[in-house]
Amino acid sequence: MKKPVALVVDDESNILRFVRANLRASGFEVASATTGTEALAKFESEEPNIIILDIMLPELDGFSVCRRIRQVSDVPIIMITAKGDMQDAVEGLNAGADDYVTKPFAVEELLARVNAVLRRSQHDFCQPSSDQIKLGNLYIDMAQRRVYINGEAVHLTPTEFKLLIYLANQADKVVPHDEILEAIWGSEYRECTHYLRVSIGRLRQKIEVDPGNPEYIVTCSGVGYMIRNLNVS
Amino acid sequence: MIVIILGVYLAVNLYEKKQDIETTYNQIFTSKAEEVKDYMRRTFIALQYLDEQISTIICANKDVDVDKKIEAKVNDLIQYMFYYHDDFEEIFVKCKHANFCYREKNLVQLTTEEEIAWEQFLWNNVDYQTFVNSTTPTVSSITTGLEGKKAIFITKPLRTEDGQYCGYILSVINMKKIEEILNKTSKDFPGYFALLDHKKRVIYFPQPVSASTLSESLVPLFKETERVTEGTFKYYSSIYKREQILNFKTLEDLDWIIWSAAPYFIVYLSFYRNLILSVFMLLIAIITILWTKRILLKRMVQPLKELNNVSKELATGRFSYRLEMANNDIPQEIKELGNRFKDMALDLKQAYLLLKRQGGVLEKQAQEYSQELLMKNKEMVALYAVASSVSNKNTLFDILNQVFKIIMKVLEIDLVTIYIPQRGEVGKESIYTVWHGNYLQKEKTCFTECAGDFAKIAVKEKKMIMIDDLQKKNDEQIPFALKWSNFKTLVSMPIYYKNMVLGALTLISSNSRHFGEKDLAILQTICTQLGVIISNFHLINIINEKHQTLMATINSMCEGLVFLDRKGKIIYANPLFFKMFYLNNIDQQKELYIDNLLKEINPEIDLVLPYKEMKKHFIKKQPFHSGQISLTYQERTRYFLIQGFPVHTNKSFLGYGYIIHDITREKEVDNLKSSLLSTVSHELRSPLTTIYGSAESLLRKDVVWSREEEIEFMEAIVEESKRLRDLIDNIMDMSKIEAGVFKLDRHAVDITKLIERVVKRHRFMYPENEFVVDILGNIPFVFIDERRIEQVLNNLLENAIKYSPMDKTIKIKVEYLKEENVLKVGVIDHGIGIACQDQAAIFGRFYRVENAKTARVKGSGVGLSIAKGIIKNHGGEIWVESELGHGSKFYFTLPINNVEGEIK
């Protein structure tokens, strides 16, 4: 079996060195880059299965790199944030990252997150009750893994797709935050509501007519989210 | 008057006559219409009766097929019917098996052809389906009967007990009867009646005319009937060749139209007769009145003219004229009038003589009166002067000057002085004098003082002082100067306002005249007015002073201030406000609305302001606590904090104010702080991450590392630990410099040796770089902290190496500047250079030039800041000369005199 490829991007050679060594030891083929532009080039040439991306990069910062990759790919991305405040983490998730670690981070933690992200992107965890779901103008084709709004295809990342299906399978029912987090991200993420908030925000951007005034995905303040079946109403 | 009453009476009479004629005519018509209706109703009832009876007979004997009994019964019934009712000409009954036909009471045996003819006759005129289903009698339109005569028939279906159609009764109406009714007209009625059926076919018309001619002449009638069911109108009949008045009515149920027409002229004949009579009577009345008037005039005008002439004579004072009443035709009343007139003339003459005698007394009174008027006039002039001066003069003394001049003229005064003590402030009083005539300056001062003294006394004692004779030598009250002047009289009057003495007015005259009561009254009035004016001026002065203080405060504020009225018009904005928005060129005198002002702002300025919020609070009249404005112009962004507040008096909302505070500096400091924090955090976290990660990796039990890998990890740990230590050292140094506790360990040092040592080490560490040391002339010893200066040199060299990716030649230049007695050391590279705007900032804390070229280079941005601190502590200067892309030249100086001073 071919080894999975990980792309590690950091301008600090020493960080690069130990991360690379540890990933290799965990069975990854590792490519590395030290600048934003180099990272994009390596992404094209190496076709990595996962990217570990620092934010503070020369030439093109981590957020921009992440956004550019997201335009063409759903490859799992873990951001390394140095500034250590929530702002960076949220911006990273907004840019399309799947997860993040904060400097200084434990190797174990990084590896655990890498595995969690890969697990999420690889196997479909929730088997749909049917092959297709239709909620008003929203049409989800499970087999094709496609989502259509008013007949127009919408591109969703794997996390977003899973989130949508998870909610759609329980349409018109309020699903609590921790339940969604556990189901989509894993039990270790039960408390990380900001992941959910960011992902819901991105999902709304893609499927709602007016994301500021959502019709499908309704926030139930302090409890969770609910997807409304607009067929009924 | 009589003529008008007569006219009105006759007109009313005529109108009533007309109404009368119309009512009569209408009544005749209505009764005829009723008659026709009655007739038809009667036929209906008869038919209904027949129907009921025949139905009963048939139903009672339904078992019997053809029975003589039925025939007999029906026969009896119809005979009975004809006996009482002769409106039907023929009756035809068709039921199940038998047909009966009666013509004028007689049962007629019909042949088969005749029966078929009856049937045909019915179905030609009536629609079978409608008829069979109908329950009421059907009236046919006028048609031609079996015998070729005109006929109308009424028919009704016969029904069995269970409502089944089983035949019909058909009765032909006696047309003669209808004709009889319509033909019969009363003598009063000059016209005729006519009848149309529901299909507008003629049932009856008195003249034998063709149907087409008739319907042509009846077009106006058809039009009217479509509009209304009954009415009256006038039209021209082409058949009778005359104007006719026509009444018509549509008969309900039958839908027939009955109308009557009569020649218009004959109907209204009696009306016209009355009209002519009335006009004639009116004419006679008018002629009679005119005639009487003429006679009266002839007899009365002449004597009245005479009277008029006499009265004219009397008016001019000639009482000798006599009225002669020669004409005997004059009526008695006029004669009496003439006599009375004569008596009146005599009385007048006597009265005139009496008046002449009294004249002298009256004249005297009139003179007195006019004198009084003159005084009043003077008062008025003075008051007017006061009033008018107020409106067009600016200062109090302008007004006083004007008023005094008028007073002097009116009251014949030579000098007027006013004294106004300043309330509450001792010594700040004012005395002001206006002169009439020429005096020496010395005299003026002296007299002003004297007059002022009197005024002061008047103020103090709150009463008027009056001296009639200033030359009265023995009066001690009178000052010497006045005693010897040519002034004669003086009056000093306090000026009151609301029971408060505001000052006093002193008037001096060179005429030896007495200030009469009237003069004093005028003076009193003027003083009262002056009191008002002076007090107002006091008030205005106070307000002005406060206003100026307020304006000065507002104008000197460090915040922009703008105040709007309720409609958003700018009432006031301080200069800083305009300056903040680069609106210095705007015409501030113009009416400015805040919305319009925003449009005036230079379009190159990128202005972001919380307009919606501002508007919302403005409308709600609520305070607006904080909004932020950003303004970008010529690549410089300024930030302002805007706060709004409604301005209320006790009662009403006056407007809204905004204070705009420049927070650019705070904002910049804030940004710097956060970037500083993030830089430090980054700089600290990066080495820590490596140390943590590498150490943890080494400790992993699930992985077996090779020897090389282990060494690599450990090396990384050591390297990053060093980096961390350096960083901490640097931060410590910087903190010491900033806190002012930076200690130097100074010795006399040969700086050339120090430089060579440093360069040697760098040559070893960075073999790819070329280092050139240039020492100009003899370099004296310098009293420095060797270690610290080495730190500076290291930093400058490392920077030069870091930022010179291409040309790696670095020059170190040392020279002694005799004139300034300093050593100047330069580190010169050919690297990327530093842009102008960054040159000052690089010596600040944590400042790093951010661009693509510097991004590859690591650094905490504290090195130069520390270097600057070290050099400054040595009493030297540090600076950079550079151009982007053309290398940098860093210089620092170290003063020598310290060395000598310390060495000695």
Of A22, A35, A104, the CB nearest to B697: A22
**Within the 186-215 window of chain A, which residues sit less than 8 Å (CB to CB) from chain B?**
none
Rounded Cα distance, B835 and B558, in Å: 33
| pLDDT (average), residues B596-610 | 82
- Binned at pLDDT 50, 70 and 90, residue B403 comes out as confident
Q: Of B172-186, B255-269, B504-518, B717-731, where does the model show the most confidence?
A: B717-731
Contact of B510 with B421, CB cutoff 8 Å:
no
Choice among A74-78, B276-280, B394-398 with the minimum mean pLDDT: B394-398
Residues 6+ apart with CB under 8 A from B807: B829, B830, B831, B887
Helix (H, G, I), strand (E, B) or coil at B172: strand
- Binned at pLDDT 50, 70 and 90, residue B901 comes out as very low
Contacts made by residues B379-387, CB under 8 angstroms, sequence distance 24+: B379/B521, B379/B522, B379/B525, B381/B406, B381/B410, B382/B406, B382/B407, B382/B410, B382/B522, B382/B525, B382/B526, B383/B525, B383/B526, B383/B529, B386/B526, B386/B529, B386/B530, B386/B533, B387/B529
What the block records as the tokens of B71 is 């025939």
In total, the C-beta contacts within 8 angstroms joining chain A to chain B are 79
Contact of B115 with B124, CB cutoff 8 Å:
no
Q: Of the candidates B893, B846, B890, B888, which has an alpha carbon nearest to the alpha carbon of residue B870?
A: B893
Q: How many whole angstroms from its chain centre is CA A76?
A: 7
Of A18, A21, A83, the CB nearest to B681: A83
Contact A83/B at CB under 8 A:
yes
Q: Of the candidates B654, B590, B596, which has an alpha carbon nearest to the alpha carbon of residue B621?
A: B654
Contact B703/A at CB under 8 A:
yes
Choice among B48-62, B456-470, B541-555 with the minimum mean pLDDT: B48-62
- pLDDT reading at B353 higher than 70: yes
> Which pLDDT does position A125 carry in this prediction?
46
In terms of CA atoms, which chain B residue is nearest residue A61? B855
- Binned at pLDDT 50, 70 and 90, residue B843 comes out as confident
Chain A partners of B681 at a C-beta cutoff of 8 Å?
82-84
The DSSP line for B584-640 is TTS-TTS--BHHHHHHHS-TTSEEE--HHHHHHHHHHT--EEEEEEEEEETTEEEEE
Q: How many whole angstroms from its chain centre is CA A75?
A: 9
> Which pLDDT does position A190 carry in this prediction?
81
**Sheet arrangement for strand A132-135:** A132-135, A138-141, A146-149, A152-154
Chain B partners of A105 at a C-beta cutoff of 8 Å?
689, 692-693
Q: Of A221-230, B184-193, B391-400, where does the model show the most confidence?
A: A221-230
- Burial environment of residue B68 by CB neighbours within 10 A (0 to 12, 13 to 18, 19 or more): exposed
> Which pLDDT does position B903 carry in this prediction?
40
Residue type, A50: I
Contact A64/B at CB under 8 A:
no
| Fold designation for A132-227 | Arc Repressor Mutant, subunit A (1.10.10)
Q: What is the rounded radius of gyration, in angstroms, for the C-alpha atoms of chain A?
A: 18
Helix (H, G, I), strand (E, B) or coil at B812: strand
Phi first, then psi: give them for residue B257, nearest 5 degrees.
-115, 120
What the block records as the tokens of B842 is 């690089």
Contact B694/A at CB under 8 A:
yes
> Which pLDDT does position B826 carry in this prediction?
93
Rounded Cα distance, B586 and B609, in Å: 20
| pLDDT (average), residues B574-591 | 80
* H or E segment to which residue B722 belongs: helix B707-739
CA distance, residue B849 to nearest chain A CA (Å)? 13
- pLDDT reading at B33 higher than 90: no
Contact A17/B at CB under 8 A:
yes
Of B687, B690, B719, the CB nearest to A18: B690
Rounded Cα distance, A57 and A12, in Å: 9
| pLDDT (average), residues B500-506 | 86
Of B682, B716, B852, the CB nearest to A18: B716
- pLDDT reading at B66 higher than 60: no
* Cα first-last separation, chain B: 145
Q: Of the candidates B481, B461, B460, B458, which has an alpha carbon nearest to the alpha carbon of residue B471?
A: B481
Contact A103 B689 (CB under 8 A): yes
> Which pLDDT does position A6 carry in this prediction?
93
> Where are chain A's structural domains?
5-122, 132-227
**pLDDT tens digits for B737-754?**
877 788 888 888 888 999
Rounded Cα distance, A141 and A133, in Å: 7
CA distance, residue B742 to nearest chain A CA (Å)? 31
Contact A59 B855 (CB under 8 A): yes
- Burial environment of residue B54 by CB neighbours within 10 A (0 to 12, 13 to 18, 19 or more): buried
Chain A partners of B687 at a C-beta cutoff of 8 Å?
14
A5-122 CATH pick, 1.10.940.10, 2.40.128.20, 3.40.50.2300, 3.30.70.2190: 3.40.50.2300
Contact A86/B at CB under 8 A:
no
Of A35, A59, A105, the CB nearest to B689: A105
| pLDDT (average), residues B203-210 | 78
Alpha-helical runs (H) found in B228-331: 264-267, 269-315
Contact A14 B720 (CB under 8 A): yes
Higher pLDDT, A155 or B327: A155
Chain B partners of A82 at a C-beta cutoff of 8 Å?
681-682, 685-686, 689
Q: Which candidate in B689, B711, B719 is best for mutational testing of the A interface (most A CBs within 10 A)? A: B689
**Within the 667-686 window of chain B, which residues sit less than 8 Å (CB to CB) from chain A?**
678, 681-682, 685-686
In terms of CA atoms, which chain A residue is nearest residue B854? A58
Q: pTM for the whole thing? A: 0.42
Q: Could you say which DSSP state residue A3 is in?
A: P
Chain B partners of A58 at a C-beta cutoff of 8 Å?
852, 855-856
CA distance, residue A156 to nearest chain B CA (Å)? 33
Contact B682 A19 (CB under 8 A): no
The percentage of residues in chain B with a pLDDT greater than 90, rounded to a whole number, is 6
What the block records as the tokens of B667 is 């904002």
> Which pLDDT does position B265 carry in this prediction?
77
| pLDDT (average), residues B696-714 | 89
> Which pLDDT does position B902 carry in this prediction?
43
Contact of B168 with B157, CB cutoff 8 Å:
yes
Contact A23/B at CB under 8 A:
no
Of B685, B856, B858, the CB nearest to A82: B685
Chain B partners of A83 at a C-beta cutoff of 8 Å?
678, 681-682
Contact B709/A at CB under 8 A:
yes
**pLDDT tens digits for B404-423?**
887 787 777 888 888 888 76
Higher pLDDT, B849 or B337: B337
- pLDDT reading at B688 higher than 80: yes
The DSSP bridge partners found for residue B242 are B237
What the block records as the tokens of B68 is 């003589």
Contact of B216 with B231, CB cutoff 8 Å:
no
Contact A106/B at CB under 8 A:
yes
- pLDDT reading at B70 higher than 80: no
Residues 6+ apart with CB under 8 A from B343: none
The DSSP bridge partners found for residue B771 are B810
Domains A5-122 and A132-227 in one fold: no
The DSSP bridge partners found for residue B812 are B773, B827
Contact A105/B at CB under 8 A:
yes
CA atoms within 13 A on the CB side of B470: 25
Encode B162-201: b = buried (16+ Cβ within 10 Å), e = exposed: eeeebbbbbbbbbbebbeebbeebeeebbbbbbbbbbeee
Of A14, A56, A107, the CB nearest to B716: A14
Contact of B657 with B564, CB cutoff 8 Å:
yes
For chain B, what is the mean pLDDT? 81
Contact B681 A15 (CB under 8 A): no
Contact of A57 with A162, CB cutoff 8 Å:
no
- pLDDT reading at B426 higher than 70: no
What the block records as the tokens of B80 is 């009975």
Contact of A194 with A201, CB cutoff 8 Å:
no
Contact B690 A15 (CB under 8 A): yes
Choice among B167-181, B322-336, B618-632 with the minimum mean pLDDT: B322-336
Residues 6+ apart with CB under 8 A from B713: A17, A18, A21, B694, B695, B697, B698, B705
The DSSP bridge partners found for residue A176 are A224
> Which pLDDT does position B193 carry in this prediction?
84
Mean pLDDT by 10 residues, chain A (233 residues): 87 89 91 91 91 86 90 88 71 85 88 87 56 81 82 84 86 84 83 85 86 84 82 51
CA distance, residue A53 to nearest chain B CA (Å)? 14
**pLDDT tens digits for B436-451?**
778 888 888 888 888 8
Chain A partners of B693 at a C-beta cutoff of 8 Å?
15, 18-19, 22, 104-107
- Binned at pLDDT 50, 70 and 90, residue B425 comes out as very low
Q: Of B134-138, B210-214, B288-292, where does the model show the most confidence?
A: B288-292
What the block records as the tokens of A151 is 């007949």
Contacts made by residues B657-660, CB under 8 angstroms, sequence distance 24+: B657/B561, B657/B562, B657/B563, B657/B564, B658/B560, B658/B561, B658/B562, B658/B563, B658/B564, B658/B614, B658/B624, B659/B559, B659/B560, B659/B561, B660/B559, B660/B560, B660/B561, B660/B562, B660/B577, B660/B580, B660/B629
- Binned at pLDDT 50, 70 and 90, residue B391 comes out as low
Chain B partners of A56 at a C-beta cutoff of 8 Å?
682
Residues 6+ apart with CB under 8 A from B131: B138, B155, B157, B168
Rounded Cα distance, B369 and B367, in Å: 5
Contact B703 A25 (CB under 8 A): yes
- Cα distances from A16 to residues A103, A151, B110, B862, in angstroms, run 13, 45, 133, 25
Contact A56/B at CB under 8 A:
yes
Rounded Cα distance, B33 and B41, in Å: 12
Q: How many CB atoms lie within 10 A of CB B534?
A: 19
Contact B696 A84 (CB under 8 A): no
Phi-psi category of A174—alpha, beta or left, where left has phi over 0 and alpha has psi -120 to 50? beta
CA atoms within 13 A on the CB side of B904: 5
Phi first, then psi: give them for residue A187, nearest 5 degrees.
-65, -25
- pLDDT reading at B111 higher than 80: no
- pLDDT reading at B579 higher than 90: no
Chain A partners of B856 at a C-beta cutoff of 8 Å?
11, 35, 58
Contact B443/A at CB under 8 A:
no
Rounded Cα distance, B457 and A99, in Å: 99
**pLDDT tens digits for B219-237?**
778 888 778 888 888 888 8
CA atoms within 13 A on the CB side of B801: 18
